[in-house]
Structure 1
């Protein structure tokens, strides 16, 4: 006669199976969270600042201090200034998901990635509202125009604000999760489409050709003499990529957690906001003398 499993034994086996599945799941997410960031050959990194809540945009200042936007929601966000001696001060508080920042006209413009929130100008301690948008993230200023990207599902726009008369125009609409916009050294105006995993060029004729594709949630862009830098806003195993002038793609940092902006410093290094781990990293060429 076939043997039957007693009810209490079957229940015990079920509970053990569920416990093992839960342990494996927790172990996987712990591994994803704590697995160390890896740098490519010829590069290394160090943690410059910890406990910077949801670090997003970075702006090094001439006196050695650093401006950081802390992308918290519900008026809990802020723009923080970290001084060279490590002391911190809140420059602007009560913000909802402050994200993009750009230095211009002797001050800074900054965005808030929340519905019907202003893009503002900060100068000499005074904050002035320039215009309002929906979930504005990336900013770029060329002196004449201020460009702003709305990060929305299928309804995102590229906005263009003209400083001379404070007029606002819509350059593109119907974008799906556009996040960053930047003018590169070759003159191209590039922007990211996060959900589609691509970078496009903003062109006068509206064709907007694809520059790069098959990326994993690309967010911030930065151009310099080395090429085009791209961070991937993925929760796990995100990367910092560099596409050189010849078009070769290289992974400079891997196993990041929701990295945001990357900016150069006067020391010949780069700073990367790793929002998923609430910290700011400094990226250095391998032979670079440690500046700290």
Structure 2
């Protein structure tokens, strides 16, 4: 009996050790870049980095997605110094430059979508767990990240009216419009990207994804980040529909944005940092979405 107990105890210890080792491997395994793509860690200690907005002077606006009024939007200057632009936020997430300022969302219940300009914050409207934002000049679109009860909201700047474009959305996170005119959004739970259409059919564009979150379009194609805690990927689907994994073993990545240097910045919220991704080609060109590509 004692021998059986010892054997069982040793087996339990080995199983626990293996499990802990597996989770540690997933947590600390380094990010891997495919082909001739390269990345470097640009900024560390950026708590729950979510949305990024590079500025003309070389500084970077970052939303830190902390809850219970602990979140903030910070500005990281070229010399590395930081200042809090807006504080006391609850899960600030989406951020979009428009009308000489920035709109930003808070992914918390009954929280405002606000407009920041010249140091002043103006509430535009309220939503429930608003995450993704997109502005086309006339309308500001907002995506609510909720289970079964999410909505796509549309705010009209000219008269401050708010309309509901979709209801019953299940974990929608990001919404964008690409240069071909399509408006796309993610369905995190379903692992897919859909197109927002006038007739409401919303056809599937991409499937087989692991918790897709942030989307971005440029001359290279459609970029998709997977908001998975372990082994998440940054994917690129080119104009011909070919899917390529650019980065692997990310931890809860959020937004990706182009820079004027021809690189990309990626917020890796699960590791509290911002990465800079460098394309394989040395030639720099301007894409059809206005994004620089290298």
Q: TM-score band, normalised by the shorter chain?
A: over 0.9
Residue 66 of structure 2 corresponds to which residue in structure 1?
A: 72
Establish whether residue 10 from structure 1 lines up as the match of residue 4 from structure 2.
Answer: yes
Paired position in structure 2 for 1:33? 27
Q: Secondary structure at the match of 1:216?
A: coil
Query: Which aligned pairs between 1:208-247 and structure 2 lie closer than 5 A?
Result: 208-247=202-241
The reply on whether 1:55 has 2:49 as its aligned counterpart is yes
Aligned to 1:104: 98
What is the root-mean-square deviation in Å for CA atoms of aligned residues?
1.1
2:80 — aligned with what? 86
Q: Shift of the alpha carbon at 1:25? A: 1.1
Report what 1:161 is aligned to.
155
Per-residue deviation, 1:14: 2.8
1:44 pairs with one of 35, 38, 43: 38
Q: Give the Å deviation of 1:288.
A: 4.3
Residue 15 (structure 1) shift: 2.6
Match of 1:200 among 194, 199, 203: 194
Deviation at 1:217, TM superposition (A): 0.6
- Corresponding residue of 2:270: 276
Corresponding position of 2:291: none
Structure 2 residue corresponding to 1:137, chosen from 131, 143, 162: 131
Partner of 2:249, secondary structure, is: strand
> Can you give the 5+ residue segments of structure 2 that lack an aligned partner in the other structure?
284-294
Q: Under a length normalisation based on structure 2, what TM-score does the superposition of the two structures give?
A: 0.94
Deviation beyond 4 Å, 4+ runs, structure 1: none
Residues of 1 paired with 2:280 and 2:241: CA distance?
Answer: 22
Residues of 2 paired with 1:261 and 1:182: CA distance? Answer: 12
Deviates more, 1:36-45 or 1:16-25: 16-25
Gaps of 5+ in 1: none
TM-score, L = length of structure 1: 0.95
CA deviation map 1:119-176 (0-9, x unaligned): 0000011111000000000000000000000000000000000000100000000010
Where in structure 2 are the equivalents of 1:112-191 lying within 5 Å?
A: 112-191=106-185
> Helix, strand or coil for the counterpart of 1:272?
strand
Deviation, structure 1 residue 179: 0.3
1:185 is paired with a residue whose SS is coil
Greater Cα offset, 202-211 or 99-108: 202-211
Task: Give the total of aligned pairs.
Answer: 283
Q: Quote the Cα distance in structure 2 between the aligned partners of 1:20 and 1:33.
A: 20
What residue in structure 2 maps to residue 257 of structure 1?
Answer: 251
